[in-house]
Amino acid sequence: MTQTKGTLYKGSGGMWSWVGHRITGVGIFFFLLVHVLDTSLVRVSPEAYDAVIGAYKNPIMIIGEIGLVGAIVFHAFNGLRIILVDFWSKGTRYHKQMLWAVMGLWVIVMIGFTARHVMLFLDGWGGF
Amino acid sequence: MSTPTKEAAEPASKIDMKESGGGGEVPSFEITLQVRRYDPEFSDEARWDEWQLTMYGTDRVLDALHKVKWNIDGSLTFRRSCAHGVCGSDAMRINGRNRLACKVLLKDLDTSKPIMVEPIKGLPVEKDLIVDMEPFFQSYREIMPFMVNNSPAPTAERLQSPEDRERFDDTTKCILCAACTSSCPVFWTDGQYFGPAAIVNAHRFIFDSRDDAGDMRLEVLNDKEGVWRCRTTFNCTDACPRGIEVTKAIQEVKRAVLTRSM
Ligand code: HEM
Ligand code: SF4
Ligand code: FES
């Protein structure tokens, strides 16, 4: 056999939800770090702030924002699931069902958000 | 006494038995077994070895390993003792998940693909499927896995109500196979973490009404390498061959640490 590496551990939903939770948590952290910096520009120079924030209106940023909201929504719902696993005495028995609920809620919220966000973008951010 | 014409009769009867045996042939099937092998005397690199084997419906992964070791390659190295899911010797990674080789029937696996067997993760591999279990047992010893009772020993048993016994029944079933601990992503990256098995065995005494050292064990597990390392991935619960609700036990110990310190 030429394959020299061992295989990946085949964990199920519980393991992958944790992987997702950590990736989204760290991702949100780095976004907020940059976002605090670009927002604080307003105190240095309102023009520079407008220029940087204006960049959020570009189509690539729209996709990025959908990704960001997707990450936050997953992290938030799954965070509530973890809190239930931690503090509800039956939480460990229902962790799989709760993960399905997290994914269902995620899909619903993301359909709503994406529709509105893309609509606002196509309208040229009237009112923003 | 007649003189039998021996040489003509015997081979014929053997063939007869085979054709009219009545029991029918035991159905067999072919498998491809791949084992992750490591022998530091030859190479620092692990490699995959592969064998084609003819196996039967009652065979387990352990039987396939035996077939290789006994008939093909005696250098294949693995632990097993009871071969019936009691001793906890043969935890290994079968098709990517921690299982006891003696409890996985080959017919329950997808035999159209190779069956892949690797050592459990997070403990140093010594040879082939054998890992050094010492770090695992060190954590086990640290949680004091024995009854501590400070009151004078009674002349008969220390009685306990069925309800009090039920409280920790699940965690009495552990066979210390390490399938849980070595399935834990936290343990893979932080070998100092006590790991699920140590917590399960602490749980067995913490919630035993006859035991007096629960607080000491909670103290041990309140360590930075203790219960708080657990990220509830449930890999341990999925891996446990005794069906122990491992994550549930860990969460109960976490809550016991909290309620004790409040
Ligand atoms: C929306 C509200 C939020 C909720 C309900 C929430 C919930 C949680 C929970 C319960 C955990 C513990 C996970 C575990 O025990 O495995 C956690 C971990 C974490 N959170 Fe959040 N969180 C939220 C927002 C955030 C934000 C805004 C950030 C970034 C600044 C963040 C970054 C992280 C990180 C990095 C972890 C560590 C992940 C790990 O250890 O695997 N979270 N979150
Ligand atoms: S809790 Fe289960 S998986 Fe872990 S060591 Fe005990 S028997 Fe093995
Ligand atoms: S050999 Fe004893 S548990 Fe498998």
Band (B14; pLDDT cuts 50, 70, 90)? low
Average pLDDT score over chain B: 92
Chain Cα centroid distance, residue B243: 11
As a whole number, mean pLDDT of residues B10-30 equals 65
As a whole number, mean pLDDT of residues A80-107 equals 97
Pairwise CA distance, residues B58 & B60, whole Å: 7
pLDDT on residue B19: 52
**Would the pLDDT of B1 be above 80?**
no
**Among B199, B246, B250, residue to substitute to test ligand 2 (most atoms within 8 Å of Cβ):** B246
pLDDT on residue A110: 97
pLDDT on residue B12: 56
As a whole number, mean pLDDT of residues B217-228 equals 96
pLDDT on residue B90: 98
Q: Is the dihedral of CA B7, B12, B13, B14 positive or negative?
A: positive
Q: Which two tokens stand for residue A76?
A: 């938030």
pLDDT on residue A55: 84
% of chain B exceeding 70 in pLDDT: 90
> Which of these, B136, B119, B262, B106, lies nearest to B199 by C-alpha position?
B136
A64 CA to centre of ligand 1 in angstroms: 20
Q: Which two tokens stand for residue A19?
A: 């992987």
Half-sphere exposure of B252 (CA within 13 A, CB side): 23
**Would the pLDDT of A2 be above 70?**
no
Do A92 and B247 lie within an 8 Å CB cutoff? yes
Residue B2 phi/psi, 5-degree rounding, is -90, 155
Tell me how far CA of residue A60 lies from CA of A57, A63, B7, B22, B244, in angstroms.
Answer: 8, 5, 90, 74, 49
**Would the pLDDT of B197 be above 70?**
yes
% of chain B exceeding 90 in pLDDT: 87
Spell out which residues of chain A touch residue B255, defining contact as CB-CB under 8 Å.
Answer: 87
Interface of B with A (CB under 8 A): 34, 36, 45-50, 93, 95-97, 116, 118, 121, 183, 185, 231-235, 237-238, 245, 247-248, 251, 254-255
**Which uninterrupted H or E stretch holds B35?**
strand B28-37
As a whole number, mean pLDDT of residues B178-184 equals 98
Say how many CB pairs under 8 Å bridge A and B.
Answer: 75
Among the listed ranges A46-60, B9-23, B89-103, which one has the minimum average pLDDT value? B9-23
Spell out which residues of chain B touch residue A10, defining contact as CB-CB under 8 Å.
Answer: 95-97
Spell out which residues of chain A touch residue B234, defining contact as CB-CB under 8 Å.
Answer: 11-15, 92, 95
Pairwise CA distance, residues A110 & A116, whole Å: 10
**Would the pLDDT of B228 be above 80?**
yes
Per residue in B68-120, pLDDT tens?
999 999 999 999 999 999 999 999 999 999 999 999 999 999 999 999 999 99
Pairwise CA distance, residues B236 & B227, whole Å: 14
Q: Exposed (0-12), middle (13-18) or buried (19+): which is B60, by Cβ within 10 Å?
A: buried
Q: What ipTM, to 2 d.p.?
A: 0.88
Ligand with the closest atom to the CA of A26? 1
Which residue, judged by its Cα, is nearest atom 1 of ligand 3?
Answer: B83
Query: Residue B246: closest CA among chain A residues belongs to which residue?
Result: A92
How far is the alpha carbon of B144 from chain A, nearest alpha carbon, in Å? Answer: 25
Spell out which residues of chain B touch residue A15, defining contact as CB-CB under 8 Å.
Answer: 185, 233-235
Query: What one-letter code names the amino acid at A58?
Result: N
% of chain A exceeding 70 in pLDDT: 95
Pairwise CA distance, residues B192 & A93, whole Å: 28
Among the listed ranges A108-112, B6-10, B148-152, which one has the minimum average pLDDT value? B6-10
Asked whether the beta carbons of B63 and B48 are under 8 A apart, the reply is: no
Contacts of B185 by beta carbon, 8 Å cutoff, 6+ apart: A9, A11, A15, A18, B231, B233, B235
Asked whether the beta carbons of A91 and B251 are under 8 A apart, the reply is: yes
Instruction: Report the SS3 class of residue B29.
Output: strand
Asked whether the beta carbons of B178 and B121 are under 8 A apart, the reply is: no
Pairwise CA distance, residues B182 & B191, whole Å: 10
Q: Exposed (0-12), middle (13-18) or buried (19+): which is A116, by Cβ within 10 Å?
A: exposed
Half-sphere exposure of A8 (CA within 13 A, CB side): 5
Q: Which residues line ligand 2 (CB under 6 A)?
A: B 88, 174-180, 196-197, 200, 239-242, 244, 246
